Structure 1
């Protein structure tokens, strides 16, 4: 089979969408399929990249280092007209995604779209809550023009179905359990944070931006710090709030962007993962924390609702209940025995989320869409 994958973010950019889409592409290639990747050009890209169409990119406002792709209608039409894919997966709803969807429909190629980002929630997080319903309608228009909308949780699948998204389907997320592992815990790294063996380290990994609700993470840390004054807090990542937050909290460690093994060491060297975001469609970092043996505290939605058993792998609190989030942080700070038990259980809970299994399910879904289109075309063909 030949599949096309269209995305406006791709490694070395660091975000959940880029890493998820890369994992899907690698999984399909490992299963013997040809992948035609379409994405914006990045600094350092070669003039020609095998099996990849590079389009012009433009900076994304409020997201330095990320770009959106130009609507390359002619380039896509030429490429797919010459080598027609059996199915197209569009991971992002930017101009490039809209163009790809239009070309695929014109050529009669089935399209699956991925809903990875809650743009409707972002309106609220950036002070434009009145635009939330408009953003949801825009998302519905985009995704309903495809044959299926892929989401990571049953919760989001039900939510979209109730709001007239035509065909939302669940595709589970995977986590690299070999990379993210408790064995990556690093005593020297902890020492650089001012943390010894008995020091409780609260960690957050992600973009340092308004939509991540980081003021609540800091408030929760200050509360657990009153129980254990020697505790440390580490933020891993970058973003527009890094400078003001670091200036206001000089005792908190801001470790910057980390990748690969360095990211795995940072994850595993924490003791509790504070994840107060309410704007995720999933939250890959929740699984990465669990794989690293670091119990998360998270709101009851997304990855936490799908995979985290409250009190066993970490703590889930009612969505939006800031007081409960803070109380959960204090609870873990006071319970060393429970925290150690959760470290082991959290790791065990993600063992079945293997990338190979997710790639197989993704492959089966795309093949189903391709088969449906072939049947429909055959029924419309003249005798």
Structure 2
């Protein structure tokens, strides 16, 4: 197959969507397919890319929206001659790609990777959630198939009236994210020896991640473990204000690769209070790294965590219950049996099965279009 991935975010961007798309594309190449990417960021690394004009999201310069005309997309299609498109983001660039594909008779699979409709209030556009749902429904129903990472999100899309929704899960590199990467010197740089519990958060430092609850959760953690340290790994628009609010936290900035893996493995308990995830790749990475995760019962945590056995779950958006689970996690931060169980839970979730399913989904819509013709 000749596959064209259309996405506003792609490495060197540091986020779960970018990493996922790179992993899927590279996996298809290993399986003998030709894959190119239409995106917004220049880089000489990775897959062949076509870079389009873009503008930053207001209030969040780390995220960009791409712009491309239908004509630009048609010219690109005529040069690359894709058999199938995967449109991963619902911006003007993605819409243009879908329109152009319709004119050329190229099948399109779309991805729902991010709950943008939930971000509108956080980014000063309140009251538009219903409008956003209608727009998203129209976009996705112009594609042959919509893939999303969790059953929870798939059910939500079906309630909106989006048709032909499928679940394409996520994987984790268990060799990269491994407890053996625990680094005593790194912990000491955080002010923690092996007798000091470390709570850690990895992800965007942004309003939609419910960071206020991270702060409250650590205060509860520290009531149980007065020596505890809090480490924030990531960057984003809330970073500077959080530093001012909590100078006692350690801020590691954005990390990638083995460096990121060492940061995970050097923590003890992972705090994940987000309520806007379509999946939550960081939960898989934390569990693979041998951390007990405290999270809400939806998306990846619902799939992976057995509360009290390999992590801790709270009913969705129940802050009191979440904080109660944080107390339990603080009391059991050295529970090696729980941490081993978390690691074991990640082993069945390698990327190859996800890449194989992705390949099958793309091939299926190609076959359906050939039958129609």
- Into which bin does the TM-score normalised by the smaller protein fall? over 0.9
* 2:365 equivalent among 366, 369, 372: 369
CA 1:70–1:313: 2 relative to 1, 3 Å = same
* 1:238 equivalent among 235, 242, 246: 235
Whether the 8 Å CA contact 1:150–1:168 is kept in 2: the answer is yes
Give 1:369 deviation, angstroms. 0.4
Matching of residues 112-151 of structure 1 within 5 Å: 112-126=109-123, 128-151=125-148
Give 1:129 deviation, angstroms. 4.4
CA 1:336–1:288: 2 relative to 1, 3 Å = closer
Aligned to 1:190, what secondary structure does the other structure show? helix
Gaps spanning 5+ residues in structure 2: where? none
For the pair 1:13 / 2:13, whether they are aligned, the reply is yes
Distance, in Å, in 1 between the alignment partners of 2:223 and 2:308 is 22
Whether the 8 Å CA contact 2:12–2:41 is kept in 1: the answer is no
* 2:340 equivalent among 322, 341, 344: 344
Deviations 1:316-369 (A, max 9, x none): 1111111111111111111246x3222101111111111111111100110000
For the pair 1:290 / 2:287, whether they are aligned, the reply is yes
| Alignment correspondent of 2:312 | 315
| Alignment correspondent of 1:104 | 101
| Alignment correspondent of 2:32 | 32
Aligned to 2:127, what secondary structure does the other structure show? helix
TM-score w.r.t. length of structure 1: 0.94
Whether the 8 Å CA contact 2:234–2:254 is kept in 1: the answer is yes
Whether the 8 Å CA contact 1:297–1:315 is kept in 2: the answer is yes
Give 1:128 deviation, angstroms. 4.4
Whether the 8 Å CA contact 2:111–2:146 is kept in 1: the answer is yes
Give 1:68 deviation, angstroms. 2.0
Distance, in Å, in 2 between the alignment partners of 1:71 and 1:267 is 38
Deviations 1:201-253 (A, max 9, x none): 00000111111111111111111101110000000011121111111212111
| Alignment correspondent of 1:93 | 90
Distance, in Å, in 2 between the alignment partners of 1:305 and 1:191 is 33
Distance, in Å, in 2 between the alignment partners of 1:82 and 1:232 is 54
Q: Which moved more, 1:156-165 or 1:287-296?
A: 156-165
Whether the 8 Å CA contact 2:62–2:236 is kept in 1: the answer is no
Give 1:165 deviation, angstroms. 0.7
Aligned to 1:130, what secondary structure does the other structure show? coil
Distance, in Å, in 1 between the alignment partners of 2:276 and 2:348 is 26
Whether the 8 Å CA contact 2:35–2:47 is kept in 1: the answer is no
For the pair 1:275 / 2:235, whether they are aligned, the reply is no
Whether the 8 Å CA contact 1:73–1:100 is kept in 2: the answer is yes
| Alignment correspondent of 1:186 | 183
Q: Please give the root-mean-square deviation of Cα atoms over the aligned residues, in Å.
A: 1.6
| Alignment correspondent of 2:355 | 359
Gaps spanning 5+ residues in structure 1: where? 378-383
Deviations 1:85-107 (A, max 9, x none): 11100011111111111111111
